């Protein structure tokens, strides 16, 4: 799969739009405008799916998109978890787990990049399941932040999200350690 070095493409434009929607989402959450925040979050999710489809189907994958797309996803999800935790819509501990995993991943990428090793940005199966669980929990919370009819689903989904997020983080630590170990074996 060859990636273009072009920066202007429809998928990259959609990704930038998703990044620009994050402050709008944050403002709506701070104002407790949950239905509007849900619409922005859903639109951002649809644009994420659309940019991935266009990139693959029309062969518009770019190096910039490979890095920008996960950044856009992280900005939106981390913002959602921080604010939902602050607003007592989700437990604080779930926000800590989600953010800790993302910080560990970013630090790992930075360390591996500093070692000048090449690696491919490719999400694992557990990482994809984690993202789905995280998104579902945010959608559930935005759809029904305090109403009694769906609160019974919050706790089980929060625990599923926490377990998957932890497993995914540990999996990335394992992968990163293997990459660094290969570096040491080749150098030493």
Tell me which residue of 104, 82, 93 sits closest to 155, measured CA to CA: 93
Best-predicted range by mean pLDDT among 125-129, 143-147, 149-153? 125-129
Which backbone phi and psi does 33 adopt, to 5 degrees? Answer: -90, 70
- By CB atoms closer than 10 A (0-12, 13-18, 19+), residue 72 is buried
* Structural domains of the chain, ranges and CATH numbers in brackets: 10-187 (1.20.120.1760)
Average pLDDT over residues 175-180: 89
Residue-wise pLDDT for 85-137, tens only, equals 999 988 899 999 999 999 999 899 889 889 888 777 677 899 989 999 999 99
Best-predicted range by mean pLDDT among 8-17, 93-102, 149-158? 93-102
* Stated pTM of the model: 0.86
CB 15 within 8 A of CB 52: no
Q: Look up residue 145 and give its DSSP letter.
A: S
């Amino acid at each position: 799969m060859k990636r273009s070095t072009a920066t202007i493409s429809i998928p990259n434009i959609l990704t930038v739009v998703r990044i620009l929607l994050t402050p709008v989402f944050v403002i709506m959450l701070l104002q407790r405008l949950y239905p509007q925040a849900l619409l922005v979050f859903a639109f951002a999710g649809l644009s994420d799916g659309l940019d991935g489809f266009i990139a693959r189907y029309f062969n518009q994958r770019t190096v910039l998109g490979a890095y920008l797309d996960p950044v856009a996803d992280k900005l939106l999800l981390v913002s959602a978890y921080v604010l939902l935790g602050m607003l007592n819509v989700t437990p604080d501990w779930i926000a800590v787990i989600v953010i800790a995993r993302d910080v560990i991943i970013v630090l790992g990428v930075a360390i591996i990049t500093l070692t000048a090793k090449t690696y491919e940005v490719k999400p694992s199966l557990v990482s994809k399941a984690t993202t789905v669980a995280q998104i579902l929990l945010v959608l559930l919370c935005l759809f029904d932040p305090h109403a009694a009819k769906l609160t019974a689903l919050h706790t089980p989904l929060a625990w599923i999200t926490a377990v998957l997020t932890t497993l995914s983080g540990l999996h990335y630590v394992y992968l990163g350690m293997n990459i660094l170990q290969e570096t040491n074996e080749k150098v030493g």
